[in-house]
Amino acid sequence: MLGTILADFGRFALFKPLKGDVRTDWLVYILVGLAITWIVGIGRTWDDAYAPLWLRSGLPSVGYAIVLAAFIWVVVAALRPGRWTYRNVLLMVTMTAAPGIIYAIPVERFLDESAARAANFIFLAIVAAWRMALYFSFLRGAAKLPPIAATVAALLPPTLILAFVSAYGALEIVAGNMGGTDLPPGESIAASVLFFIAALCWISLPVLVIAWVALAIIRRRAKPRNAT
């Protein structure tokens, strides 16, 4: 069974259908997902001798996954997706953790400081895009949301998070922690990209919120909630 479950995590990461019985073995799936999340969290900072012990433990990644799943579950529930339970959302979040193992590549060992930071920032962008694609695929497949609703459901939670973080001027710190590196402050390419992302989030946030409210009303009137 464990072999099938581990293979399913690989299948999910490659956008392929799962072969195991998730409904019966959901607890094992979640435990495996949390374990992978923990390992990826350790790999994010394992080669950073200056990172605090609590960060190097990998436990913040597990806590983040649990809280993020709750946040997504609450926000997207208004759009009445199918099979929308916290259990399913938590499983989805943990199943998107595996691509983050790329953070464990010790680029600092064979690149200079500037190049290593650039590589880690690129890794962060790749993993973020990969995870967003997996999340959107989950919304379209498992949650059965139509394209427009799935797009709003995919974009609103991260936009809310990034807008909130940027409002406190902590976007570079959060991005650095996620990528397992300290991003250079000031007028660097990474800082410019993060500033653009923050501005884009604040511009798109009102549009996404209006679309979310409209879709919630439309879908509530159209059909009853499918809570299976």
- Say if 130 falls within a structural domain: yes
- Helix 26-45 / helix 171-179 crossing angle, nearest 10 deg: 100
* pLDDT for res 120: 77
- Say if 227 falls within a structural domain: no
- Say if 34 falls within a structural domain: yes
Whole-model pTM: value is 0.86
Domain total of the chain: 1
- Say if 228 falls within a structural domain: no
3-class secondary structure, 47? coil
Closest by CA to 99, choosing from 136, 54, 132, is 132
Lowest mean per-residue pLDDT among 39-43, 145-149, 150-154, 190-194: 190-194
The one-letter amino acid at 123: F
pLDDT tens, 191-202?
677 777 888 889
* pLDDT for res 172: 61
3-class secondary structure, 207? helix
Q: Is the pLDDT of residue 115 over 80?
A: no
- Say if 108 falls within a structural domain: yes
CA distance 184 to 147: 38
Domain assignment of residue 191, given as a range: 2-222
- Say if 132 falls within a structural domain: yes
Mean pLDDT of 127-132: 94
